[in-house]
Amino acid sequence: MGETQLTGFEGRPVRINTGLFINNEFQPARGGAELEVENPTTGARLASVSAAQKEDVDAAVTAAQAAFKGPWRTTTPAQKGRLLNRLADLIERDADDLASLEALDAGVLFGDSKGLHISNATETLRYFAGWADKVTGQLLNIPQGYAFTRREPLGVCAAIVPWNAPLMITIWKLAPAIAAGNVLIIKTPELSPLYAQRLAELVVEAGFPPGVINIICGQGHVAGQALAEHHGVKKISFTGSGPVGREIMRAAAGSNLKKVTLELGGKGPSIVFADANLQNALFWTTIGFTANNGQICAAGSRIYVHASIYDAFLLAFAEKLAGGTPGDPLSSATTKGPVISQKQKERILEYIRQAKTSGIRLLAGGDLASTNGHFVPNVAFADVPDDARIMQEEIFGPVASIAKFHTENEVIEKANATEYGLSAAVFTNDVNRAQRVSEALESGQVTVNCWGMLHANTPFGGVKQSGFGRDMGEEALDGWLTTKTVKYFKLPTADDK
């Protein structure tokens, strides 16, 4: 354990501490265990960070329990809100460093990290800061007395964060958890943990008491499993794959029946009707599967286009996919960064090979110019059958499957014919149609004439096998609270006799 200095945006140095952050202090993992972090742009080693073991998870839970019973219990809701606002201010101040770290280990374009991820993170912190002193219960009439409800924090909670947009998703969990009065242990992604090493320093600078926010990196089957099974953890919020989400549910059920929120995979449909603004639809549907190299659970990778505009759409879509500049995500000239790892690259390329072998029509995309690192091309297939793997399975890469439809009912049936239900998009100028289709789609959220817009006050989460529970919005706050009912009965007095 120690400090590492990296080279960030415009060659500026970025310093991080590489230890586990427990009780407001950095410390090595038990036995000195470490994880190596790779730069996906080059494939070279970036840094080593401490890798939490079961004993380290126990230490984090103990620190969090002490904070919850001690200084955090006497911290007023208004003070908690001010701490969240202060953390937002510090993240804005250090936005270049945080965006540099996401570019270095997650491969996120610097501009996207700073302009989208970090701006959403600070918006979310400030939104929930406003909620901190507004958590209320109800006063209820009952026979011979009255009752009231108290909405109380759960206590020690945990968040397990994915590698694709790690800072933003960390804040989606941290902000409502803290606003609700909980204490939190964050397990960061082993492939892209560096952002959180800087975030931990900002937690101290913001003034959070020791043990309120603990940040640990570690392997999922070690640190993540230990958190999911720990009897001292009262809730776990997870964003990631379906198989891991099921493991967390089993661990929660087998331990203390802790509360669970899961935001899992997606295979989002984008539906383009004949009356849609074609240029607007092209803009959003291309972004919908290429943003962050398609490494987005809400990616709009299934595109359904009305038969009357299908050929024109395909021609324009292919033209929009041409070009692009792959390279270092720290460079402002780069428009396409790498995917997270060699394993992910091979997985995406295998889906592309399998689709070609199956005879599915390749519309656009091909080999990138020779480059080091984990780069994959943007690829679109046309006339894709409903049962094709690329139409049914989450690829988590920049691969679009396009098909035509003739009627509204037909496309709704196609869009819903998936195990997922996270996000969908509808493109039409008919307000009534937009309302009908958005109601009929089996999806946690539907956007009309755009894709993927995120706002702190609007809940985000899925249905079906995309999970349950919500990040952002008032609904997210509810997920970090429990309700207690208190009943008062009037005792008889002398006047009652």
Catalytic annotation, residues:
263, 297
Indicate the residue type of 352: I
Q: Are 61 and 156 in contact (CB under 8 A)?
A: yes
Residue type, 245: G
- CA distances (Å), 165 to each of 71, 110, 150, 188, in order? 32, 12, 34, 11
CA torsion 171→96→52→230, rounded to 10°? Answer: 0
* β pairing state of 139-142 and 156-160: unpaired
Q: Which among 4, 441, 414 has a CA at the least distance from the CA of 193?
A: 4
Nearest Cα to Cα of residue 87 among 204, 215, 167: 204
3-state helix, strand, coil in the chain (%, to 5): 40, 25, 35
* CA-based torsion, 214, 265, 230, 173: positive or negative: positive
Distance CA 417, CA 266 (A): 12
Answer yes or no: are the C-beta atoms of 58 and 33 closer than 8 Å.
Answer: no
Burial class (CB in 10 A: 0-12, 13-18, 19+), 152: middle
DSSP for 295-353 reads --TT---EEEEEGGGHHHHHHHHHHHHS---BS-TTSTT-SB---S-HHHHHHHHHHHH
Q: What does 226-263 look like in DSSP terms, one character per residue?
A: HHHH-TT--EEEEES-HHHHHHHHHHHHHTT--EEEEE
Length in residues, the chain: 497
From the number of C-beta atoms within 10 Å of its C-beta (0-12, 13-18, 19+), residue 65 rates as middle
Cα-based angle 3, 205, 7 (whole degrees, multiple of 5): 35
Cα–Cα distances (Å) from 12 to 247, 343, 462, in that order, read 41, 30, 39
Annotate 267-281 with b (16+ C-beta within 10 A) or e (fewer): bbbbbbbeebebeeb
CA 186 from chain centre, in angstroms, equals: 13
Q: How far is CA 21 from CA 24, 147, 207, 384, in A?
A: 6, 42, 15, 48
